[in-house]
Amino acid sequence: MKRELHEISKPEYYNKLFSTRCIVSGKGTQPYYVPFQIEIQCASTKCEGKCGYGEAKIIELKAEDEAILMFIDIPSFRISRVLANVFKISCPLFTHKLVQMQVIERIFISQLIGKDKNKWGFSRVAYYIGHDIETNTTYEINGYTTVDPSSQMVTYVITSLRKLQSDIDIFSLSSAIVKRLKKFQTKSTDETKMFAELRSLYTSYAHNVTKIYGDNRFLLHLSVDLAFHSVLSFDFSNERVYKGWVDAMIIGDPRCGKGYVAERLSQYYGVGEVIGADNASYAGLVGGLQQIQKHWIISWGKIPINDKGLLIIDEASEIRHEDWSKLSRVRSEGIAEVTKIQAQMTNARTRLLFIANPPYRTVSNYSYGIQALSDIVKTPEDIARFDYVCVVAHDEVPIKTINEAKSLLPSIYVRQAEKDLITWTWSRRSDQIKFTKEAVNEIYKQSIHLAEVFDYSIPLIQGENVRIKLSKLAICFASRFFSSCDNYEKILVKEEHVRCATLFFMLLYKSESNGYFIYSQLFRSSSGEVATKSLHAIEIYFRTYNNRHEIYTFLMMTNTITVNDMAEFLGKSKDLAIEIISRLLRNGCIMKKRSGYVKVPFFTTWLKHKIQERMKQL
């Protein structure tokens, strides 16, 4: 009978046959040999064959017999006694010869992605009678529920199985699907008009699906949605990009709605999986060894289990610093690897959306919100792997707007169409993604532009690889608007999609909560003469203060500088604080932000230097 995996441990299924779909998420480090055909012969002088084995006889231990589990984890000298027990051999003395053996693998089975996740989010131990089983693979399994004879725990014996193809593997374009998908097409070739269309779409999703409102949440919705529309690999300008899928991060204040947007869009589209901090270890994300009653099982984590799909990792700030560097291979090559006891590898080409809180409580505690990123992920190489990072502050949308109950809006596309669009995108092979000549030229042109605008000291946009990030995002926009050619079989990336991708980067990094743009501007303009001049003037100015080291300490410690805080810290009048701030401002060392003043990077560097000098003197 066809069953869901979570049903088959109910008491009524004991020793009943079942058939279900599952993922084989892990297997033991070593399989077992247990007898299959055994030759039994009476050897007792008292019995003289009354037991029925006077003549040698071959008996078989079948997969369908639950007693098969009694033959694992036992020493060889016990086999004879277990045989007597299982086959009810009454003879006091008999010999046995193992004619043929069979293989049993101890495996982990887990529920399929995207279905009733809450009912059975974990994996269970089962035994497969056979040797040809692959991990991180989806199967239809047939077997029965039984108990582990050594512990009485519920387990499953799998007698036969069949590899399953996913919705993506079997996707084919019917005229009905094409008709639905054509609704996503647009006549606009102007990126601002195309963004306006997306804006109306996400407004409808805010009302109907995510319940996270406000104009400023547009970029949050777009950042989440684009990840759903990325492809596995593609060719760009005679270069194979093996990692075509999006790997992005959203940093946001607690309760800003970042998790909801991701989780609810994933539910609405019916694809992707959301995990929290309890899975944020390396073993939970990539894989590791688990000990089940003294037995080692290598089991795969959530990233490989979602191969070719999408994984939302909530509470990514819980990922330990050393684990980020261990994630390098899976994030750069899409290969998961466990090397303990024995090495195993599997595919992990998984779209990744990391969602994190700023380590120092709120985004506004940082001069530039994007700086929170380097507190979550330490090394520049690991930061550079993000295709984009969206930063959302709590105060961007008035609390009132968030709490207002909103009516539902008419939906723009039917839900099935959105699902079809994603399946179409996910099933495109690299030879089914085509860039027009104009698009390629535009990518080169915009790459130079972006590399000039943004500073690589935050390595999100770097001259050497920005073209890859840009082409990846351009594909996402082409997919979003169902831009296609060759009878809808190929994604066609045009110039306007590249301009959309550029606009996306600009809007994302120009947003006040993000600050990557303004940070870059200050860092760039300050290089050279201007900075030297300002710092020289400031150096002379501070010489008149006996307590200048206290002032330096205050300025260094404080991300957002205010007159009151400075006066309090120094124990001096507000007038003095105003005087210092005014001088710093005129020399371009600080700049005004909503809640106070923030330091520009060259001034921070200078301060650090001053403080280090002082430490040496003390």
The footprint of Zn ion (CB under 5 A) covers: 42, 44, 47, 51, 91
Q: Six-digit token pair at 463?
A: 């001259």
Q: What angle do CA 434, 440, 445 make, to 5 degrees?
A: 160
Q: How far apart are CA 517 and CA 307, in angstroms?
A: 34
Residue 46 or 294: the one with the smaller Cβ distance to Zn ion is 46
Which C-beta is closer to Zn ion: that of 91 or that of 607?
91
SS3 content of the chain, % helix, strand, coil (to 5): 45, 25, 35
- The DSSP bridge pattern shows strands 247-252 and 388-392 to be parallel
Min dist CB 42 to Zn ion, Å, is 3
Q: In this complex, which beta carbon is closest to Zn ion, that of residue 91 or of residue 589?
A: 91
Query: b/e for 160-178, b at 16 or more Cβ within 10 A?
Result: ebeebebebeebeeeeebe
Does residue 175 sit in helix, strand or coil?
helix
Nearer to Zn ion, 81 or 608 (CB): 81
Question: Of 46 and 543, which has the nearer Cβ to Zn ion?
Answer: 46
**How far, in Å, are 235, 256, 332, 472, 505 from residue 241 at the CA level?**
6, 34, 11, 9, 20
Q: Indicate the helix (H) or strand (E) that contains 604.
A: helix 601-617
* Cβ-based nearer residue to Zn ion, 72 or 86: 86
SS3 state at 370? helix
Residue 102 near residue 33 (C-beta atoms within 8 A): yes
Give, in degrees to the nearest 5, the angle at Cα 612 between 608 and 617: 150
Cβ-contact 134, 347 below 8 angstroms? no
Task: Give the residue with the Cβ less far from Zn ion, 46 or 437.
Answer: 46
Could you tell me the smallest distance in angstroms from the CB atom of residue 49 to Zn ion? 6
- Residue 37 Cβ vs Zn ion, minimum distance, rounded to whole Å: 20
Show the tokens assigned to 340: 């303990």
Least distance from Zn ion to the Cβ atom of residue 70, Å = 22
Distance of closest approach, residue 340 Cβ to Zn ion, in angstroms: 49
Whichever of 40 and 363 has its CB closer to Zn ion, that residue is 40
* Closest distance of CB 50 from Zn ion, Å: 6
Closest separation between CB of residue 53 and Zn ion, Å? 5
Minimum gap (Å) between residue 285 Cβ and Zn ion: 58
Nearer to Zn ion, 51 or 433 (CB): 51
CB atoms within 10 A of CB 271: 22
CA dist., res. 23 & res. 27, Å (int): 11
Considering the complex, state which of residue 55 and residue 529 has its C-beta at the smaller distance from Zn ion. 55
Q: What is the DSSP code (8-state) at residue 410? A: -
Least distance between Zn ion and beta carbon 45 (Å) = 10
Q: What angle do CA 268, 273, 279 make, to 5 degrees?
A: 145
H helices then E strands: how many in the chain? 22, 24
C-alpha dihedral over 353, 359, 361, 363, to 10 degrees?
-60
What distance in Å separates the CA atoms of residue 590 and residue 608, rounded to the nearest whole number? 15
> What pairing do the DSSP bridges indicate for beta strands 17-28 and 94-110?
antiparallel
Minimum Å distance from CB 88 to Zn ion? 13
Radius of gyration of the chain from Cα atoms?
31
CB of 97 to Zn ion, least distance (A): 15
Q: Which is nearer to Zn ion, 48 or 64 (CB)?
A: 48
